[in-house]
Amino acid sequence: MIARVLLSAVLLLVLVACSQDVPASQDAARAAGAPSTAAAAPTVAGGALRPSEGFDVSEVVFTDGDERVTMPVLVADDRALRTTGLMHRTELPAGAGMLFVFDAPTSGGFWMKDTVLPLSIAFVGADGTVQQVLDMEPCTEDPCPLYAPDETYLRAVEANQGYFAAHDITAGWSLEVDPRRGGGQ
């Protein structure tokens, strides 16, 4: 009887140790030999960029001729997410950014109220062309300066200050965005 209890306990421990926290549908698909359909999170130096605080994760690609620069981004595609942006964040992984997607061309500027990270921003027109790149400084007290481009834009990408300069990304480059994330170019 004791041997049976010990054997049962050992089997239970083996089952628990070998199990994974996977939804039943994925577990059944895996058992049937189906390939995983889960998309890998875009990676940056030091690991993957993960969705957080309502922001999804995607990738954008800046191009100029044969030059290609891929950047994982948090996606701000509604008014609340665009308003929050990178406020109160104390870090943004090197090589990562935030994509702001608007429903229609806009001319509104960005401000850095309660943003503690120095950032650069690339404003992108409806045709997918980078129109202007600006550096923005942190601001914790009013009045904070407004950073606005010279033309209307449909998207904007923020990154750690100096990222665009380090990659020679300037006006005239193109931005490719996943069509599910306000892309099309």
pLDDT in tens, 54-107: 899 999 999 999 999 999 999 999 999 999 999 989 999 999 999 999 999 999
Alpha-carbon 96 to chain mean position: 7
pLDDT for 7: 38
Res 42 pLDDT > 70? no
Q: For residue 147, give the nearest of 176, 118, 175 by alpha carbon.
A: 118
**What are the chain's domains?**
2-31 (no CATH), 51-181 (2.60.120.1140)
pLDDT for 1: 54
Burial class (CB in 10 A: 0-12, 13-18, 19+), 64: middle
pLDDT digits (tens, 9 = 90+) for 97-156: 999 999 999 999 999 999 999 999 999 999 999 999 999 999 988 999 999 999 999 999
> In terms of pLDDT, which residue wins out, 59 or 2?
59
Sorting pLDDT into bands at 50, 70 and 90, what band is 176? Answer: very high
Q: For residue 44, give the nearest of 104, 93, 90 by alpha carbon.
A: 93
Question: Residue 31, by phi and psi: left (phi above 0), alpha (psi -120 to 50) or beta?
Answer: alpha
Cα(110)–Cα(136) distance, rounded to whole angstroms? 9
pLDDT for 19: 30
Sorting pLDDT into bands at 50, 70 and 90, what band is 2? Answer: low
In this prediction the pTM is 0.75
Res 37 pLDDT > 70? no
Sorting pLDDT into bands at 50, 70 and 90, what band is 48? Answer: low
Neighbours of 175 (CB within 10 A): 24
